[in-house]
Amino acid sequence: MNWSNVKLILHREVRDQLRDRRTLFMIAVLPLLLYPLLGMSMFQVLQFVREHATRVLVIGADELPEAPQLIEGDHFAERWFSSAAKARLLQLSFVTGEAKTNSADEIFADARRSVAQGEYEAVVYFPPGFGRQLGEFRKSLTGDREATAEESKRSVPSPEVYYNTAKEKSQITFIRVEQVIARWTEAIGKQNLAESHLPETAARPFELAEHDVAVEHGHRDAAVWSKLLPFLLLIWALTGAFYPAIDLCAGEKERGTLETLLSSPAERSEIVWGKLLTIMLFSMVTALLNLASMGVTGSLIVHSLPKEIGSPPTLTPLWLVLALVPMSALFSALCLALASFARSSKEGQYYLMPLMLITMPLVLLPMAPGVELTLGNSLIPVTGVVLLLRALLEGNSLEALPYLPVVVMVTLACCLWSIRWAVDQFNSESVLFRESERLDLGLWLRHLVRDRGDTPSPAEALFCGLLILTIRFFLGLVMDQTPPKTFEPWAKLVLITQLTTVLTPALLMTIMLTRSPRKTLLLRLPPLGSVPAAVLLAVVLHPVVAQLSIIVQRIYPVSEAMREALALPLDAHTPMWQLVAVLALTPAFCEELAFRGFMLSGLRHLGHKWQAILISSIFFGIVHGMLQQSIVACILGMVIGYLSVQTGSLLPAMVYHFTNNSLPLLLGHLIDQPAARQFPWNWLLVRHDEVPYVFTWPATALAGLAAAGLLYWFHRLPYSRTAEEALQAALDRQRAPAGSI
């Protein structure tokens, strides 16, 4: 690659962007104006924020004891509040006669009606005889009565509070009343101890001493900043990369300058790198300017708040900048690839929403309670970076250090993949020069039926995968969530799920959207010997799959509740053939027709067989629902997809899928037989707590070598390329001498 050409393109793009006044305003001027204005607005709003008084109806106030006094005049006693002004926030109304004349059911009905209709925010009810029975309980503590303290305690009726959680004012009122009653109850307890000639320390013999080490190490409020700053940083990096990407792709299409750039001596990869570095530069500048503007404004506003918030740790700017570089590169490459699809700047605006929908859960996941930096979480793109950054901001550098290489490798792999994707988009003329057109739903539907091909298009294949996931999701909502206790209803549930959510959408789309179901579903004879080789491959790969399941469950542990929910409802009378038919034969038939049949056939029109195999495998893994199963299924889906492509038939894929699902059932049943217990299994497999059995490492290594040999045999089979794959292979050979990414 000629980096001088990249430098020239970078200089050109930055110059053009700086000449655009809108870009300068969005990146430099707007943050400097927005945050001071926002800070002033917040400060003005805080001046109007005050606590308002709420209404409370007290029933049975005449039943209260004289000491300690809960109510003084028309409000709760000021001693139960932190200040006299707080006592005025609860405006009391009293009903005393009704508490003696009406029945308990009538009192409760009136209380509920008063709160529900908004006449009062809360109703406090003291039952008849409350003060008298409280006095009797107090006397029992001094030994004046024969009743035990426990019996007397049970005889004291409890006050009741009615409130409405659907109204915020009612919730606030309940919190205030609850605090008052709690302090009053504590005072009653102290008085009881005094009258029993016991010190107050008898009820609370010790106090918990608190020592905040965060203050000692200068990390006060680090938990707040560690969740807020990474979220803001990544969102600003994403939005800062998106709008320049739209202007550098869709904007150049509208201005007619893209053809001039593509006709220059620079290669497509060099053009992509120049644009990528430009977008990355503006993304980083946008994020840093937003952080700086927010920091300056926040430092002025925070001191005006009632409770001062501590400043972030000293090394916060360093950690943020280090995390910003790879994240800006990742977002810039993704935005550049997406923007290349856009036919106009207006259309490019629509692509931000899907990217945000994917990014937001990954950024918000670390904010959930209990989510920590572990090996499993560090393997999640974007989430691992946020968790690592959070640990560094909290001062846990030593704890985060072991996960640093994992996060770096995952982030680097995502960056390289997204850059490669952007280069592929610029190498595709059909993507760069899409004509502007108006979507007509009727014409589009007629086009799908009239111009359908022998196999589906990539868009139809992706729609099939999304349709399967959507139907599966809504079916899970309407079905009973209680797992069946016996085998028969459980088997019916599995069969209905497979037939309705997986097989039916694939078959309907095959009939409606393709001309040749045989080519779409790969219903042809495979090469000689490929079916026995697929069976043998499933057998020799089974030890590797078992070890992979153990590793995945160690990275992402399965809870005991999940294990109990996934346990098969079997009994001693369940025939093995029924179990194999439900768990092995049905998924092998339904899932292969959908994912390696319809989806893979359509995705191969993208021009890259491995890209098609990967996408179909991801959908195949997601369908399995549970994360641990999805990861293993996705990896196995890559193997099954490779068999389908190399043989050009779905039969080896079905046979492999059936054998892979049958082996755990048959082996688990075999080793439990009395006759098989005499066989020396120790050299081959051993029992395990997380799975029924696991193969020994020597057996797994030998099986892995045998599987590699069989995969090489499948690799030597000549396979039929699609027209797009043949064209892409020719383009790759043509660009290979000049060098490409």
pLDDT confidence of residue 47: 45
> Cβ(161)–Cβ(59) under 8 Å?
no
What SS3 class is residue 384?
Answer: helix
Helix-strand-coil percent breakdown of the chain, rounded to 5?
70, 5, 25
The contacts of residue 80 (CB under 8 Å, 6+ apart) are: 70, 87, 179, 180, 183, 184
Backbone angles phi, psi at 65, to 5 degrees: -70, 160
Would you say how long the chain is, in residues? Answer: 741
- Give DSSP secondary structure letters for 541-595: HHHHHHHHHHHHHHHSPPPHHHHHHHS----TT--HHHHHIIIIIHHHHHHIIII
pLDDT digits (tens, 9 = 90+) for 22-59: 555 555 555 555 555 545 444 444 444 456 788 888 88
Rounded Cα–Cα distance for residues 606 and 611 (Å): 8
Handedness of CA 23, 25, 29, 31 (dihedral sign): negative
Please report, as a single letter, which amino acid is at residue 96: T
> Cβ(328)–Cβ(385) under 8 Å?
no
pLDDT, averaged per 10 consecutive residues of the chain (741 residues), comes to 70 65 53 52 47 82 82 84 80 68 71 82 85 78 53 67 85 88 85 74 65 52 75 86 84 78 79 87 86 72 56 79 88 86 77 82 81 85 89 82 90 87 76 55 64 85 90 79 76 89 92 90 90 94 90 82 68 79 92 94 89 93 87 94 93 95 83 61 63 76 92 90 82 61 43
Handedness of CA 213, 215, 218, 222 (dihedral sign): positive
In the DSSP assignment, the letter for residue 694 is E
Choose which CATH entry (1.20.1270, 3.40.190, 3.30.70, 3.40.630) describes domain 48-202. 3.40.190
Specify which residues 163 forms β-bridges with: 122
Token pair of 334, please?
């993704």
Rounded Cα–Cα distance for residues 248 and 340 (Å): 9
Rounded Cα–Cα distance for residues 352 and 356 (Å): 6
> Cβ(613)–Cβ(641) under 8 Å?
yes
Backbone angles phi, psi at 436, to 5 degrees: -75, 130
Rounded Cα–Cα distance for residues 612 and 598 (Å): 12
Token pair of 656, please?
């492999």
In sequence order, which ranges of 675-715 are alpha helices (DSSP H)? Answer: 697-715
Instruction: Give which of 590, 580, 562, 272 is closest to 420, Cα–Cα.
Output: 272
Instruction: Give which of 26, 577, 501, 633 is closest to 282, Cα–Cα.
Output: 26
pLDDT confidence of residue 708: 94
> Cβ(649)–Cβ(625) under 8 Å?
no
Could you give the C-alpha distances from 720 to 460, 519, 642, 649, in angstroms and in order? 21, 12, 13, 11
Rounded Cα–Cα distance for residues 443 and 435 (Å): 16
What SS3 class is residue 695?
Answer: strand
pLDDT digits (tens, 9 = 90+) for 370-410: 778 888 888 888 888 988 888 888 777 888 888 889 999 99
Rounded Cα–Cα distance for residues 437 and 369 (Å): 47
Rounded Cα–Cα distance for residues 473 and 478 (Å): 9
> Cβ(356)–Cβ(238) under 8 Å?
yes
pLDDT digits (tens, 9 = 90+) for 431-477: 666 554 454 556 656 666 677 788 898 888 998 999 998 898 888 77
Tally the C-alpha atoms within 13 A of residue 708's C-alpha that lie toward its C-beta. 6
Instruction: Give which of 422, 420, 397 is closest to 339, Cα–Cα.
Output: 422
For the question of whether the overall pTM of this predicted structure is more than 0.75, the answer is: no
pLDDT confidence of residue 145: 45
> Cβ(508)–Cβ(599) under 8 Å?
no
Instruction: Give which of 222, 339, 219 is closest to 272, Cα–Cα.
Output: 339
Rounded Cα–Cα distance for residues 517 and 287 (Å): 51
Both ends of the chain: CA-CA distance in Å?
A: 9
Rounded Cα–Cα distance for residues 72 and 80 (Å): 11
Residue intervals of the chain classified under CATH 3.40.190 are: 48-202
pLDDT confidence of residue 46: 44
pLDDT confidence of residue 44: 47
Instruction: Give which of 132, 137, 136 is closest to 153, Cα–Cα.
Output: 137
User: Given the DSSP bridges, would you call strands 71-72 and 75-76 parallel, antiparallel or unpaired?
Assistant: antiparallel
- Is-cis flag, bond preceding 68, omega within 30? yes
pLDDT confidence of residue 149: 46
In sequence order, which ranges of 340-455 are alpha helices (DSSP H)? Answer: 345-350, 352-364, 375-378, 383-393, 397-400, 404-427, 429-432, 441-450
Type and span of the H or E element at 35: helix 30-48
> Cβ(590)–Cβ(503) under 8 Å?
yes
